[in-house]
Amino acid sequence: MTANDTLQIIIYFGVLLLLAKPLGIYMARIYEGEVFWPVRLMGGIERLFYRFCGVNAEEEMSWKRYALAVLLFSAAGYFAVYLLQRLQGVLPLNPQKFPSVSPDLAFNTAVSFTTNTNWQNYGGETTMSYLTQMAGLSVQNFLSAATGMAVLVAVIRGFKRQTSMTIGNFWVDLTRTVLYILMPLSLILSVLLVSQGVVQNFRAYRHVTLIQPFTYNSPSLDRKGDPTRDGRGNASVEKAEMRQQVIPMGPAASQIAIKQLGTNGGGFFNVNSAHPFENPTPLSNFLEMLAILLIPAALCATFGKMIGDMRQGRALLAAMFLILVTLMTLSVWSEQRGNPHFTSVGIDQTARSTQPGGNMEGKEARFGIVDSAIWATATTAASNGSVNSMHDSYTPLGGLFPIWLIQLGEIVFGGVGSGLYGMLVFAIITVFVAGLMVGRTPEYLGKKIEIFEMKMAALVILIPNALVKIGTAIAVSTKAGIAGVANPGPHGFSEILYAFSSAGNNNGSAFAGLSGNTFFYNTALGISMFVARFWLIIPVLAIAGSLAKKKQVPAGLGTLPTHTPLFITFLIGVVLIVGALSFMPSLALGPIADYLMSGH
Amino acid sequence: MPGDKRHKKVDGTYLLIIIGLFVLTGLLVKLFERV
């Protein structure tokens, strides 16, 4: 670790925590229906929207109606994105004349964007028309994020209300999230990104003849388009010459702002935020990194404000913060330490004023190690999935921490809304474990935690676990699964494990070494993403419905306070122990084996 | 192309998969109601 590394981590979290509280309180006021300046400014649009859609804003929903509204709305989003992709060849705003997207890829992409995962088995600039990117993918960036936040607000109401059969109105929560929170923030960030050089236009791509043509190694493909291998099992390459460069254009800035703020992560361009038109400068990089964690961090304050005890929100934020800072620091340290094989052949990997040192493979020179590793850990903690470096090229330990952050269940900040409702489920499990220790009925925020809540909480933890392990097991046992792997051995296993961890927890980032655009991966990862999103939302809403019905119990001598350092320690322990017990064996076969074989 | 026979069949398969997934998820709501 260098002084620069430490300073940048401190500045990043300093600015993040500074902004989290005011934004969190603003969001709480929006969700509580308070009439203040943004509502006075845009309330007319909100009411017009309700009238147009036939929504009765005063009507409350039971958890079942709320869940069915989430499902119906998401189904409509899925079909819109699927059809836009399948018909883009005959639709306007397609200056590159891209053909329609194949059915398996359209399925994968539609599920991916509807579930706020944004796993991408396509390259944006080589596959999607401007219409698909804007009307399909960008719109889902807003709506899937707003769905997650709406579900969280319903859960908060579950804790707050007493003897109530309802948990709010999904359409109202969704509309308010988009209108008062996501759209204004996205507008501000888009303009800032354009000021830094992120493109925003509808022009056709530019073709430029290179002054100095060059040759490069291109992956060799067979007739089916699958990578071919040499006798040792490594991917074969062939020489190719580059004489002309195509410079892509498009309405990128508007999509990138919400991609970061909504913890979506799907890049406008194939290499995501490593592309100079998506993330041109250190300032754009900082703003995009900040946007990844901004709403998830602020929602902790929203939670505290809505339940009337800011200390509860701070405790959850502290648990998230401590886990992330530790794993982020370890990741930066591992990358800064570099590759021992390079040291053995006399390559200097020390950080100096003239070089960043460490492992710079797969990283942009304009960002260096610390900004790449901060991004890699923030994006995997937050269910964002955007990248500004290629995680496949990280050192084994540098790559282990991002995978593990995903496998913890996307609750360390996590996705907008989904991260905090996931962490609340862990809080419920923590008070249950603590309750067992002292022999009392567990309580959280004055609500007794009983069998039903525990059954639902167990499902929320077990479903992603099963998806990751079953998916990885099928992939490594079938030809179709192994065909997509670029590297043999533990690293190849890590590529598959990462893909199913990412899909099975709705993260969306890729390790980058896996050829995912195949019938097998499009289908398997698509189903994983769907189940990971909706099979968790249903039990979470069921918990909300059950809690809303209960009366609040006054705190007694046997009540475990849930805002103290002791509870934060308990919570971190439960999160890490569940994560470690669930995934350590699979991590041992991938990144840990890779580490032990890499000469450390 | 989306209109050809093979793609229509594949479109149909994915339509069935997604409808199946949404219906199954909807049934979870009913199931949890009774737990």
| pLDDT reported for residue A128 | 96
Report the C-alpha gap between A226 and A235 in whole angstroms.
Answer: 10
Between A556 and B1, name the one with better pLDDT.
Answer: A556
- Among residues A169, A64, A70, which one has the least CA distance to residue A530? A70
Mean pLDDT calculated for residue range A454-465: 95
Q: Is the pLDDT of residue A262 over 60?
A: yes
Q: What is the pLDDT of residues A123-159, one digit of tens each?
A: 999 999 999 999 999 999 999 999 999 999 999 999 9
| pLDDT reported for residue B35 | 65
A97: helix, strand or coil = coil
Q: Tell me which chain B residue has its CA closest to the CA of residue A108.
A: B14
pLDDT band at A356 (very low <50, low <70, confident <90, very high): confident
| Cα angle value A553/A310/A563 (rounded, 5°) | 60
Q: Is the pLDDT of residue A11 over 60?
A: yes
String of DSSP letters for A552-576: PPPP-TTPPPSSSHHHHHHHHHHHH
Q: What is the pLDDT of residues A21-65, one digit of tens each?
A: 999 999 999 999 999 999 999 999 999 999 999 999 999 999 999
- CB < 8 Å to B28, chain A: 535, 538-539
Mean pLDDT calculated for residue range A264-293: 95
DSSP 8-state code for residue A135: I
Report the C-alpha gap between A25 and B14 in whole angstroms.
Answer: 43
Tell me how long chain B is.
Answer: 35
Mean pLDDT calculated for residue range A201-223: 91
Between A32 and A224, name the one with better pLDDT.
Answer: A32
Which pair of tokens denotes residue A254? Answer: 């508007």
A294: helix, strand or coil = helix
Between A441 and A45, name the one with better pLDDT.
Answer: A45
Collect all residues from A whose CB is shorter than 8 A from any CB in B.
64, 67-68, 71, 75, 78, 82, 86-87, 89, 99-100, 102-104, 106-107, 111, 452, 455-456, 523, 527, 530-531, 534-535, 538-539, 542
| pLDDT reported for residue A600 | 64
Residue A99 distance to chain B (closest CA, Å)? 8
**CB-based contact (8 Å) between B11 and chain A?**
yes
- In this structure, which amino acid lies at residue B24? L
Q: CB distance B22–A71 less than 8 Å?
A: yes
Tally of CB atoms within 10 A around A599: 10
Q: Tell me which chain B residue has its CA closest to the CA of residue A72.
A: B22
Report the C-alpha gap between A418 and A533 in whole angstroms.
Answer: 9
| pLDDT reported for residue B1 | 53
Q: 3-state secondary structure string, A38-74?
A: HHHHHHHHHHHHHHHHCCCCCCCCCHHHHHHHHHHHH
A162: helix, strand or coil = coil
Q: Which runs of consecutive H residues, i.e. helices, occur in A182-281?
A: 183-195, 252-261
What kind and span of H or E run contains A244? strand A237-247
Q: CB distance A530–B11 less than 8 Å?
A: no
Which pair of tokens denotes residue A140? Answer: 């889902």
CA distances from A22 to A146, A305, A404, A508 (A): 19, 11, 31, 29
Q: Is the pLDDT of residue A233 over 90?
A: no
Angle between helices A451-477 and A418-438 (to 10 degrees): 120
Q: Which among A67, A100, A530 has CB closest to B21?
A: A530
Q: What is the pLDDT of residues A69-83, one digit of tens each?
A: 999 999 999 999 999
Q: Buried b vs exposed e over A66-94: b needs ≥16 C-beta within 10 Å?
A: bbbbbbebbbebbebbbbbbbbbeebeeb
